[in-house]
Amino acid sequence: MLRNAFAYITRKPLKSAIIALVVLVMTTLALMSVAVQQATLKAQTETYGALTNSFTMEINRRVNQGTARGGGNVRGQDIAKINRSQLAQQVTKRINSVADVVDLHIVETPQTKARLDKTRAERFGRAVMLTGVNDSSKETKFATGAFRLVEGEHLSNSDTYQILMHKDFAEKNNLHVGDTITLASNIYDADNAKGAHERFTVRIKGLFDGHNVQAVSAAQELYENTFVTDLSTAARVYGYTEDTALYQDATFSVAAQKNLDEVLKELKRLNINWNMYHLVKSSDNYPALQQSIQSLFKLTAGVWYGSLAFTGIVVALLLFLWINARRHEVAVLLSVGKSKVYVWGQFLCELLMVSIPAFIVAFFCASASAQVIGNALVARMSASISNSLQKAGQASGLGAGAEADGFNKTLDSLSISLDAHMVAGVVLFMSVVLVVALLLACVTFMRKSPRALLIDTN
């Protein structure tokens, strides 16, 4: 059987090569689609996993416009009520404020300088944005990868008067981790409702990197002019303490075994004025990230099922034509006593001899091209999604700082590789498809007698 199968495929090299080429192309596409899908799943877990079972307490802008500058005004006592309910495990609280850096220079670009008139230069020429947080490693700009710690340590809940500074700001002002700087209240900031005139020293605990994705019009929107601070620092520039401060938002994590939707329903029973707030699944705060992940899953699933279907249909047609031309050969084999199972087994051996080399070559083709193709898909998809969201943001007046970039964040790259389990699974599925295709190609004439097959060939 094996000798006859080998003899046939070597006698008909063109037909064998055509089938091998179809199997090669489709298996390569299937391997690449599975590899990209697995890499997307890994990226989702790493980039997005911390957000899947958490929620954020935000202001309801339909009835609560927030602070004078449009920031959040979540009350600390309402955050504390959720904490005491024990429905959530941990909370990451954020305070957004503005401060002046004393005897230092902020980072400017030609675009921000062009829009800086004399009055604004006098009032905000040394102003920086502060994001106060009790755990900077969980702050959204770090969680989404917009900011990346490059030196020093993250801020913890026990820190006071500590900051994380952008490395470019530090380089411009010749500052290093461990140095101290002076911050002062900005009396012109609309959110400085108490007219605070605070002035105090903070220590640089770490440096981070990251750069704006979108063009900015004001220097304060630059990543370089954003400081991440502890809560007490961000609150003090407005004359508040952690207990009396107004918070931008608060993100709560929920135990893995708890259903997030049920937790949100239970929280609505707490004695809180819920007209003022929204409880939002944290994953919903990153629509671009969601959309890019879902789009990649949808695309790769389409390629996977398409490659299986295409392989089955095309190979079945090719085999039908191939076997149909051999009806006389089949009739002779059956006439000399060979069983139909034997004949079908010979066809199967021929198909495997053609397909196995195709599977091997497909592995190397997919290994060489999957990373390139995957990154190209990610880049194209991310660009399309980002452009759509940027246009929507511009139409709605959304800013261009780190918060907006986090909202617009998409997958920017994938780490793609092929492992043994992945390859084995794809080859197994493709083999099943080929066997089914062979059965379909053989079923019409395997029911006939040798005499009927001989008559059909005349």
Predicted confidence (pLDDT) per residue in 296-306, tens digit: 777 777 777 77
- Mean local confidence (pLDDT), 41-50: 64
Residue pair 302/287 in contact by the 8 Å Cβ criterion: no
Q: Would you state the pLDDT for residue 411?
A: 63
Q: Would you state the pLDDT for residue 401?
A: 54
Q: Over 80: is that where the pLDDT of 234 sits?
A: yes
Alpha-carbon distances, residue 215 vs 114, 219, 386, 401, 404 (angstroms): 13, 11, 13, 9, 11
Least reliable range by pLDDT among 252-266, 280-294, 362-376, 402-416: 402-416
- Mean local confidence (pLDDT), 412-420: 75
Neighbours of 193 (CB within 10 A): 13
Residue 269 exposed, middle or buried by CB count within 10 Å (0-12, 13-18, 19+) = exposed
Residue pair 203/162 in contact by the 8 Å Cβ criterion: yes
* Domain locations along the chain: 2-48+289-457, 71-249
Q: Would you state the pLDDT for residue 398?
A: 46
Q: Would you state the pLDDT for residue 430?
A: 83
Residue pair 135/207 in contact by the 8 Å Cβ criterion: no
Residue pair 20/286 in contact by the 8 Å Cβ criterion: no
Residue pair 227/405 in contact by the 8 Å Cβ criterion: no
Q: Over 60: is that where the pLDDT of 389 sits?
A: no
Residue 366 pLDDT class (50, 70, 90 cuts): confident
Q: What percent of the chain has pLDDT over 90?
A: 38
Closest by CA position to 442, among listed 354, 378, 347, 353: 347
- Cα angle: 61, vertex 64, 70; to 5 degrees: 70
Which of the 8 DSSP states describes residue 427?
H
Q: Over 60: is that where the pLDDT of 407 sits?
A: no
Residue 29 pLDDT class (50, 70, 90 cuts): confident
Rounded Cα gap, residues 27 and 332, in angstroms:
35
Most confident of 185-189, 209-213, 398-402: 185-189
Closest by CA position to 27, among listed 397, 306, 217, 291: 306
Alpha-carbon distances, residue 358 vs 5, 303, 400 (angstroms): 17, 19, 50
Residue 395 pLDDT class (50, 70, 90 cuts): very low
- Sign for the CA dihedral angle at 294, 415, 147, 206 comes to positive
Distance of CA 154 to the CA centre of its chain: 23
Read off the pLDDT of residues 54-65 as tens digits, 9 standing for 90 and up.
Answer: 889 999 999 999
The torsion angles phi and psi of 256, rounded to 5 degrees, stand at -60, -30
The two structure tokens encoding residue 139:
């702050």
Rounded Cα gap, residues 336 and 351, in angstroms:
23
Closest by CA position to 31, among listed 452, 346, 422, 435: 422
Q: Over 70: is that where the pLDDT of 49 sits?
A: no
Per DSSP, the three-state class of 140 is helix
Q: Would you state the pLDDT for residue 270?
A: 93
Q: Over 90: is that where the pLDDT of 35 sits?
A: no
Which helix H or strand E contains 411, and what residues bound it?
Answer: none
Q: Over 50: is that where the pLDDT of 397 sits?
A: no
Residue 239 pLDDT class (50, 70, 90 cuts): very high
Average per-residue pLDDT for the chain: 82
Q: Over 80: is that where the pLDDT of 78 sits?
A: yes
